[in-house]
Amino acid sequence: MKTAKYLVPNDYMADPAVHVFNGRLYIYPSHDRESGIPENDNGDHFDMKDYHVFSTGDIETGTLTDHGVVLDTKDIPWAGRQLWDCDVACKDGKYYMYFPLKDKNDIFRIGVAIAGKPEGPFIPQPDPIRGSYSIDPAILEENGTYYMYFGGLWGGQLQRYRDNKALESAEFPAGDEPAIPSRVVKLSQDMLQFAEEPRPVIILDKAGKPLTHGDSTRRYFEASWIHNYQGKYYYSYSTGDTHRLCYAIGDNPYGPFTYQGVLLTPVVGWTTHHAIVEFKGKWYLFHHDSVPSGGQTWLRSLKVVELEYNPDGTIQPIEGGGTGD
Protein backbone atom coordinates (compact mmCIF):
# COMPACT_ATOMS: atom_id res chain seq x y z
CA MET A 1 0.00 0.00 0.00
CA LYS A 2 1.97 3.01 -1.24
CA THR A 3 -0.88 5.49 -1.54
CA ALA A 4 -3.06 6.50 1.39
CA LYS A 5 -6.57 5.09 1.49
CA TYR A 6 -9.66 6.15 3.40
CA LEU A 7 -10.95 3.56 5.86
CA VAL A 8 -14.48 4.59 6.88
CA PRO A 9 -16.02 6.38 3.88
CA ASN A 10 -19.54 6.66 5.33
CA ASP A 11 -18.77 8.34 8.67
CA TYR A 12 -16.34 10.85 10.22
CA MET A 13 -13.63 9.25 12.36
CA ALA A 14 -10.36 10.86 13.53
CA ASP A 15 -7.42 10.60 15.99
CA PRO A 16 -6.72 6.88 15.44
CA ALA A 17 -5.08 4.75 18.12
CA VAL A 18 -4.21 1.37 16.60
CA HIS A 19 -3.03 -1.93 18.12
CA VAL A 20 -2.67 -5.55 17.15
CA PHE A 21 -4.44 -7.82 19.62
CA ASN A 22 -4.57 -11.61 19.09
CA GLY A 23 -3.28 -11.23 15.51
CA ARG A 24 -6.03 -8.78 14.49
CA LEU A 25 -5.70 -5.03 13.96
CA TYR A 26 -7.97 -2.80 16.08
CA ILE A 27 -8.60 0.91 15.43
CA TYR A 28 -9.86 3.19 18.21
CA PRO A 29 -10.78 6.58 16.68
CA SER A 30 -12.61 9.69 17.86
CA HIS A 31 -16.10 9.88 16.33
CA ASP A 32 -16.57 13.33 14.76
CA ARG A 33 -20.05 14.77 14.31
CA GLU A 34 -21.76 17.98 13.25
CA SER A 35 -22.79 19.73 16.45
CA GLY A 36 -23.36 23.19 14.97
CA ILE A 37 -20.93 24.71 17.51
CA PRO A 38 -18.87 27.47 15.82
CA GLU A 39 -15.15 26.80 15.30
CA ASN A 40 -12.82 28.43 17.88
CA ASP A 41 -9.27 28.07 19.28
CA ASN A 42 -10.68 26.28 22.31
CA GLY A 43 -11.83 23.39 20.11
CA ASP A 44 -15.46 23.63 21.25
CA HIS A 45 -16.53 22.43 17.79
CA PHE A 46 -14.97 19.02 18.49
CA ASP A 47 -18.02 17.94 20.47
CA MET A 48 -17.84 14.17 20.23
CA LYS A 49 -20.09 11.91 22.29
CA ASP A 50 -19.15 8.27 21.64
CA TYR A 51 -16.56 5.85 20.30
CA HIS A 52 -16.76 3.06 17.74
CA VAL A 53 -14.11 0.31 17.37
CA PHE A 54 -13.03 -1.06 13.99
CA SER A 55 -11.02 -4.20 13.26
CA THR A 56 -9.58 -6.17 10.37
CA GLY A 57 -7.41 -9.19 9.72
CA ASP A 58 -6.05 -7.67 6.50
CA ILE A 59 -5.45 -3.93 6.25
CA GLU A 60 -4.24 -4.14 2.64
CA THR A 61 -7.26 -5.72 0.91
CA GLY A 62 -9.64 -6.87 3.66
CA THR A 63 -12.82 -5.27 4.95
CA LEU A 64 -13.06 -3.31 8.16
CA THR A 65 -15.59 -4.49 10.75
CA ASP A 66 -17.42 -1.73 12.63
CA HIS A 67 -18.12 -3.02 16.15
CA GLY A 68 -20.55 -0.18 16.79
CA VAL A 69 -20.76 2.18 19.77
CA VAL A 70 -18.51 0.84 22.54
CA LEU A 71 -18.59 3.77 24.98
CA ASP A 72 -20.99 6.73 25.21
CA THR A 73 -20.79 9.87 27.37
CA LYS A 74 -24.31 9.19 28.64
CA ASP A 75 -22.87 6.14 30.47
CA ILE A 76 -19.95 7.99 32.07
CA PRO A 77 -21.01 9.23 35.54
CA TRP A 78 -18.61 12.21 35.66
CA ALA A 79 -19.16 13.34 32.04
CA GLY A 80 -19.39 16.94 31.00
CA ARG A 81 -18.64 17.17 27.28
CA GLN A 82 -16.15 16.40 24.48
CA LEU A 83 -14.89 12.83 24.17
CA TRP A 84 -11.53 13.31 22.45
CA ASP A 85 -8.70 10.98 21.40
CA CYS A 86 -8.47 7.66 23.31
CA ASP A 87 -6.07 4.71 23.50
CA VAL A 88 -6.43 1.08 24.59
CA ALA A 89 -4.03 -1.33 26.35
CA CYS A 90 -4.33 -5.04 27.14
CA LYS A 91 -3.23 -6.57 30.44
CA ASP A 92 -4.00 -10.11 31.69
CA GLY A 93 -6.82 -10.59 29.18
CA LYS A 94 -8.60 -7.31 30.00
CA TYR A 95 -8.72 -4.25 27.76
CA TYR A 96 -8.39 -0.77 29.26
CA MET A 97 -9.58 2.25 27.32
CA TYR A 98 -8.11 5.60 28.40
CA PHE A 99 -10.15 8.60 27.27
CA PRO A 100 -10.06 12.39 27.80
CA LEU A 101 -13.36 14.05 28.62
CA LYS A 102 -14.32 17.35 30.20
CA ASP A 103 -15.88 16.90 33.63
CA LYS A 104 -18.90 18.84 34.86
CA ASN A 105 -16.60 21.84 35.62
CA ASP A 106 -15.36 21.86 31.99
CA ILE A 107 -11.91 20.56 32.98
CA PHE A 108 -10.36 17.77 30.90
CA ARG A 109 -9.65 14.62 32.92
CA ILE A 110 -8.59 11.17 31.75
CA GLY A 111 -10.94 8.29 32.46
CA VAL A 112 -10.66 4.50 32.20
CA ALA A 113 -13.20 2.02 30.85
CA ILE A 114 -12.75 -1.76 30.90
CA ALA A 115 -13.73 -4.55 28.50
CA GLY A 116 -13.22 -8.30 28.29
CA LYS A 117 -12.61 -8.11 24.52
CA PRO A 118 -10.63 -5.66 22.36
CA GLU A 119 -13.84 -4.65 20.55
CA GLY A 120 -15.58 -3.76 23.80
CA PRO A 121 -18.08 -2.70 24.96
CA PHE A 122 -16.11 -0.71 27.54
CA ILE A 123 -17.55 -0.09 31.01
CA PRO A 124 -16.38 3.22 32.52
CA GLN A 125 -14.99 3.59 36.04
CA PRO A 126 -17.08 5.90 38.25
CA ASP A 127 -14.38 8.61 38.46
CA PRO A 128 -11.50 9.86 36.32
CA ILE A 129 -7.90 8.92 37.16
CA ARG A 130 -6.78 10.83 40.30
CA GLY A 131 -4.43 13.67 39.38
CA SER A 132 -5.14 13.37 35.64
CA TYR A 133 -5.48 16.40 33.40
CA SER A 134 -5.41 17.48 29.74
CA ILE A 135 -5.93 15.20 26.69
CA ASP A 136 -4.59 12.67 24.20
CA PRO A 137 -3.50 9.64 26.26
CA ALA A 138 -1.23 7.15 24.46
CA ILE A 139 -0.08 3.94 26.14
CA LEU A 140 3.26 2.12 25.86
CA GLU A 141 3.66 -1.41 27.22
CA GLU A 142 7.19 -2.33 28.13
CA ASN A 143 7.87 -5.76 29.68
CA GLY A 144 4.66 -5.70 31.70
CA THR A 145 4.98 -2.03 32.73
CA TYR A 146 2.55 0.45 31.19
CA TYR A 147 3.28 4.14 30.58
CA MET A 148 0.83 6.84 29.58
CA TYR A 149 1.90 9.86 27.49
CA PHE A 150 -0.57 12.73 27.50
CA GLY A 151 -1.16 16.46 27.10
CA GLY A 152 -2.30 19.01 24.54
CA LEU A 153 -2.12 22.81 24.25
CA TRP A 154 -4.90 25.39 23.71
CA GLY A 155 -8.26 23.56 24.03
CA GLY A 156 -6.35 20.62 25.54
CA GLN A 157 -5.63 22.83 28.60
CA LEU A 158 -1.98 21.74 29.17
CA GLN A 159 -0.91 25.40 29.55
CA ARG A 160 -3.02 25.54 32.72
CA TYR A 161 -0.65 23.19 34.62
CA ARG A 162 2.88 23.34 35.93
CA ASP A 163 4.57 20.57 37.95
CA ASN A 164 1.23 18.72 37.85
CA LYS A 165 -0.57 21.51 39.69
CA ALA A 166 -3.30 23.70 38.26
CA LEU A 167 -2.26 27.35 37.77
CA GLU A 168 -4.47 30.33 38.57
CA SER A 169 -4.62 30.98 34.82
CA ALA A 170 -3.02 29.65 31.65
CA GLU A 171 0.67 30.53 31.13
CA PHE A 172 2.72 30.21 27.96
CA PRO A 173 6.54 30.48 28.05
CA ALA A 174 8.40 33.23 26.19
CA GLY A 175 9.53 32.24 22.70
CA ASP A 176 13.12 31.50 23.78
CA GLU A 177 12.12 29.47 26.85
CA PRO A 178 11.72 25.67 26.82
CA ALA A 179 8.46 24.52 25.25
CA ILE A 180 5.62 23.23 27.39
CA PRO A 181 6.29 19.47 27.52
CA SER A 182 3.82 16.62 27.23
CA ARG A 183 3.86 14.22 30.17
CA VAL A 184 4.67 10.55 30.77
CA VAL A 185 3.56 8.53 33.77
CA LYS A 186 3.77 4.89 34.86
CA LEU A 187 0.37 3.27 35.46
CA SER A 188 -0.52 1.34 38.63
CA GLN A 189 -0.59 -2.48 38.60
CA ASP A 190 -4.39 -2.47 38.37
CA MET A 191 -4.18 -0.05 35.37
CA LEU A 192 -6.67 2.32 37.01
CA GLN A 193 -4.44 5.06 38.50
CA PHE A 194 -1.08 6.79 38.07
CA ALA A 195 1.70 4.97 39.95
CA GLU A 196 3.84 8.12 40.25
CA GLU A 197 3.82 11.85 39.53
CA PRO A 198 3.72 12.54 35.77
CA ARG A 199 7.11 13.63 34.37
CA PRO A 200 7.86 16.05 31.50
CA VAL A 201 8.70 14.55 28.09
CA ILE A 202 11.75 16.54 26.98
CA ILE A 203 12.50 16.87 23.27
CA LEU A 204 16.05 17.97 22.48
CA ASP A 205 17.52 19.34 19.30
CA LYS A 206 20.60 17.63 17.82
CA ALA A 207 22.83 19.91 19.96
CA GLY A 208 21.15 18.61 23.13
CA LYS A 209 19.12 21.75 23.87
CA PRO A 210 15.40 21.49 24.71
CA LEU A 211 13.16 22.75 21.90
CA THR A 212 11.80 26.19 22.70
CA HIS A 213 8.21 27.41 22.80
CA GLY A 214 8.94 29.70 19.84
CA ASP A 215 10.13 26.76 17.72
CA SER A 216 6.57 26.13 16.61
CA THR A 217 7.34 23.92 13.61
CA ARG A 218 9.12 21.40 15.87
CA ARG A 219 7.85 21.70 19.45
CA TYR A 220 5.12 19.52 20.99
CA PHE A 221 1.49 20.61 20.74
CA GLU A 222 -0.70 17.45 21.07
CA ALA A 223 -1.31 13.89 19.80
CA SER A 224 1.39 11.78 21.50
CA TRP A 225 2.20 8.38 20.06
CA ILE A 226 5.10 6.07 20.92
CA HIS A 227 6.41 2.94 19.25
CA ASN A 228 9.51 0.76 19.33
CA TYR A 229 11.69 0.21 16.29
CA GLN A 230 14.98 -1.69 16.41
CA GLY A 231 15.39 -1.16 20.15
CA LYS A 232 14.73 2.59 20.09
CA TYR A 233 11.71 4.54 21.32
CA TYR A 234 10.09 6.69 18.65
CA TYR A 235 8.00 9.48 20.16
CA SER A 236 5.78 11.20 17.59
CA TYR A 237 3.37 14.12 17.96
CA SER A 238 1.57 17.01 16.28
CA THR A 239 2.92 20.55 16.20
CA GLY A 240 -0.70 21.78 16.29
CA ASP A 241 -0.87 25.30 14.91
CA THR A 242 1.89 24.51 12.38
CA HIS A 243 0.13 21.26 11.42
CA ARG A 244 3.03 18.79 11.17
CA LEU A 245 3.53 15.32 12.57
CA CYS A 246 7.10 15.12 13.86
CA TYR A 247 9.13 12.48 15.66
CA ALA A 248 12.00 12.21 18.11
CA ILE A 249 14.02 9.16 19.22
CA GLY A 250 15.05 8.12 22.74
CA ASP A 251 16.70 5.26 24.59
CA ASN A 252 14.04 4.69 27.25
CA PRO A 253 10.32 5.41 27.82
CA TYR A 254 11.01 8.54 29.89
CA GLY A 255 13.26 10.13 27.29
CA PRO A 256 14.77 12.57 26.65
CA PHE A 257 14.01 12.24 22.94
CA THR A 258 16.10 13.80 20.19
CA TYR A 259 14.19 15.54 17.41
CA GLN A 260 14.55 13.83 14.00
CA GLY A 261 12.15 15.49 11.56
CA VAL A 262 8.69 15.64 10.00
CA LEU A 263 6.93 12.36 9.30
CA LEU A 264 3.72 13.82 7.80
CA THR A 265 3.49 17.29 6.21
CA PRO A 266 0.24 19.24 6.83
CA VAL A 267 -3.02 17.59 5.81
CA VAL A 268 -6.22 19.29 4.64
CA GLY A 269 -7.86 20.39 7.92
CA TRP A 270 -6.47 22.01 11.06
CA THR A 271 -5.61 19.03 13.25
CA THR A 272 -3.26 16.19 12.42
CA HIS A 273 -3.13 13.06 14.58
CA HIS A 274 -1.88 9.53 14.06
CA ALA A 275 -0.81 6.07 15.15
CA ILE A 276 2.17 4.04 13.91
CA VAL A 277 1.92 0.25 14.04
CA GLU A 278 3.53 -2.84 12.54
CA PHE A 279 1.12 -5.44 11.14
CA LYS A 280 2.04 -8.57 9.20
CA GLY A 281 5.59 -7.36 8.52
CA LYS A 282 4.77 -3.83 7.31
CA TRP A 283 4.64 -0.51 9.12
CA TYR A 284 1.63 1.78 8.73
CA LEU A 285 0.78 5.39 9.52
CA PHE A 286 -2.88 5.80 10.46
CA HIS A 287 -4.04 9.42 10.42
CA HIS A 288 -6.91 11.66 9.32
CA ASP A 289 -7.73 14.60 7.07
CA SER A 290 -10.74 16.72 6.15
CA VAL A 291 -10.77 16.14 2.37
CA PRO A 292 -14.04 14.14 2.24
CA SER A 293 -15.92 16.82 4.26
CA GLY A 294 -14.66 19.55 1.94
CA GLY A 295 -12.18 20.91 4.49
CA GLN A 296 -14.47 21.19 7.52
CA THR A 297 -11.90 20.92 10.29
CA TRP A 298 -14.20 19.16 12.78
CA LEU A 299 -15.37 16.47 10.31
CA ARG A 300 -12.34 14.30 9.71
CA SER A 301 -11.85 10.99 7.90
CA LEU A 302 -9.57 8.07 8.79
CA LYS A 303 -6.70 7.15 6.46
CA VAL A 304 -3.85 4.67 6.35
CA VAL A 305 -0.62 4.59 4.35
CA GLU A 306 2.46 2.41 4.49
CA LEU A 307 5.39 3.90 6.39
CA GLU A 308 8.99 3.25 5.37
CA TYR A 309 12.23 3.56 7.30
CA ASN A 310 15.63 4.40 5.92
CA PRO A 311 18.55 2.05 6.73
CA ASP A 312 19.69 4.49 9.48
CA GLY A 313 16.30 4.20 11.25
CA THR A 314 14.94 7.58 10.15
CA ILE A 315 11.42 7.66 8.69
CA GLN A 316 10.67 8.62 5.09
CA PRO A 317 8.35 11.66 5.31
CA ILE A 318 4.87 11.45 3.78
CA GLU A 319 3.07 14.28 1.97
CA GLY A 320 -0.20 15.18 3.71
CA GLY A 321 -1.60 17.17 0.79
CA GLY A 322 -2.52 20.31 2.78
CA THR A 323 -1.08 23.80 2.64
CA GLY A 324 -0.42 24.21 6.37
CA ASP A 325 -2.31 27.52 6.47
Give the active site residues.
Answer: 15, 222
Q: What's the residue count for the chain?
A: 325
In the complex with ligand FUB, which residue's Cβ is closer, 91 or 296?
296
In the complex with ligand FUB, which residue's Cβ is closer, 101 or 185?
101
Cα 20 to Cα 255: distance, rounded to the nearest angstrom: 25
If binding means CB under 6 A, how many residues of this protein chain bind ligand FUB?
Answer: 13
Residue 259 · residue 211 · CB < 8 Å: yes
- Encoded one letter per residue, x for contact with ligand FUB by CB under 6 A and - for no contact, window 21-40 reads ---------x----------
Characterize 79-111 residue by residue with b for buried, 16 or more Cβ atoms within 10 angstroms of its Cβ, and e for exposed: bebbbbbbbbbbeeeebbbbbbbbbeeeebbbb
**Is 15 among the residues that bind ligand FUB (CB under 6 A)?**
yes
**Is 271 among the residues that bind ligand FUB (CB under 6 A)?**
yes
C-alpha pair distances (Å), 283 with each of 20, 60, 82, 96? 12, 12, 31, 24
User: Measured in whole angstroms, how far is the alpha carbon of residue 134 from the centre of its chain?
Assistant: 12
Contacts of ligand FUB in 55-114 (CB under 6 A):
84-85
Cα 170 to Cα 309: distance, rounded to the nearest angstrom: 39
- Of 87, 119, 136, 289, the residue at the interface with ligand FUB (CB under 6 A) is 136
In the complex with ligand FUB, which residue's Cβ is closer, 86 or 90?
86
**Is 289 among the residues that bind ligand FUB (CB under 6 A)?**
no
Contacts of ligand FUB in 166-185 (CB under 6 A):
none
In the complex with ligand FUB, which residue's Cβ is closer, 62 or 288?
288
**Is 285 among the residues that bind ligand FUB (CB under 6 A)?**
no
**Is 14 among the residues that bind ligand FUB (CB under 6 A)?**
yes
Tell which residue, 125, 237, 141, has the closest CA to residue 180: 237
Cα 212 to Cα 218: distance, rounded to the nearest angstrom: 9
**Is 215 among the residues that bind ligand FUB (CB under 6 A)?**
no
Residue 239 · residue 219 · CB < 8 Å: yes
Q: Whole-number minimum distance, CB 161 to ligand FUB, in Å?
A: 16
**Is 273 among the residues that bind ligand FUB (CB under 6 A)?**
yes
Residue 142 · residue 253 · CB < 8 Å: yes
Using alpha carbons only, what angle is made at residue 296 by residues 133 and 264, rounded to the nearest 5 degrees? 70
- Of 46, 51, 98, 257, the residue at the interface with ligand FUB (CB under 6 A) is 46
Residues of this chain that bind ligand FUB (CB under 6 A): 14-15, 30, 46, 84-85, 135-136, 152, 222-223, 271, 273
